[in-house]
Amino acid sequence: MAESPAVNDARGRIRTDQPHTARIWNYWLGGKDNYPVDQQAGDRIRQLHPGIGEYALADRRFLGRAVRRLVGEYGIRQFLDIGTGLPSADNTHEVAQRIAPESRIVYVDNDPIVLAHAEALLVGTPEGRTDYLDEDLRNVDTILEQASRTLDLGRPVALMLLGVVIFVEEDEEAYGLVRRLVDALPAGSHLVLSHTVTRPDMPDVDAAVAFWNENGTPKLTQRTPEAVTRFFDGLELLPPGVVSCNRWHPETGDGELPPEVAMFGGVGRKG
């Protein structure tokens, strides 16, 4: 099948001489959509923060557990996933449609690297539907208007914001963007959000982020766990609240909590 003009254009805009977050994340997850420059940066960050691989895996597994719970326990059948990143194992539509084949998912990203791989995100079940929007998180009105072609915004939607508001540096802008998106969704909708945190007992994370911001693109912003919790203001924060992603309903089987990682997440319900 021939690639779309948009995908061809995206491929032409991809830089392979500079490390990129999406490709480094893909490298840490064991993917193949990365280049030597990404691997070198990823290895350097791992030297500064040896647990970074678990950090990436914890975020991906948090996504899977949250989607399964929302579909299985709360009856959610629609997902708006903004800041999708490169396709990996168990993308949102795969997890949701495995349980409820009629689920509908709209992915949103404005990264040419992600757009170039978008076709992999559009293979869903015959009963459901997946779509991809090439848009920036800041274009809230456009995202909602275009997403409404696939999703019924009069019915509950799960808004997925995993590791994306870390790219919005100003706090009030970040909170405002999330609030505008949540406000546009009906009661019964959910916010699933994860974010890199900074804490006094995690100095290696601060060093890794500082290295990244000096050498890679786009820049990252850390926030405290308390600041991350503020994204859920006005929502019913589901237990166990905002916690390390690998401690959100872990599937360890032995009741033991895994070690914390510096990616915290939570799920909130709109009443």
Query: In the prediction, which pLDDT does 126 show?
Result: 85
| 147 lies in some domain | no
Q: Is the peptide bond before 259 cis (omega within 30 degrees of 0)?
A: no
Question: Is 127 exposed, middle or buried, given 0-12, 13-18 or 19+ CB atoms closer than 10 A?
Answer: exposed
| 7 lies in some domain | no
User: Are 212 and 220 a contacting pair, CB within 8 Å?
Assistant: yes
Residue-wise pLDDT tens digits, 146-195? 999 999 999 999 999 999 999 999 999 999 999 999 999 999 999 999 99
- Which distant-in-sequence residues (6+ apart) come within 8 Å of 94 by Cβ? none
| 122 lies in some domain | no
Residue-wise pLDDT tens digits, 223-247? 999 999 999 999 999 999 999 999 9
Query: In the prediction, which pLDDT does 121 show?
Result: 64
Query: In the prediction, which pLDDT does 41 show?
Result: 85
The answer to whether residue 254 scores a pLDDT higher than 70 is no
Structure tokens at 170: 């100003």
The answer to whether residue 88 scores a pLDDT higher than 90 is no
Helix (H, G, I), strand (E, B) or coil at 236: strand
| 127 lies in some domain | no
| 113 lies in some domain | no
Among the listed residues 86, 30, 78, the one whose alpha carbon sits nearest the alpha carbon of residue 54: 30
| 182 lies in some domain | yes
Number of domains the chain is built from: 1
Q: Which domain holds residue 50?
A: 14-99+152-250+258-269
Query: In the prediction, which pLDDT does 122 show?
Result: 72
Query: What is the CATH classification number for the domain harbouring 174?
Result: 3.40.50.150
| 129 lies in some domain | no
| 109 lies in some domain | no
Residue-wise pLDDT tens digits, 114-148? 777 776 667 778 899 999 999 999 999 999 999 99
The answer to whether residue 4 scores a pLDDT higher than 60 is no
- The three-state DSSP-derived secondary structure of 39-97 is HHHHHHHHHHCCCHHHHHHHHHHHHHHHHHHHHHHHCCCEEEEECCCCCCCCCHHHHHH
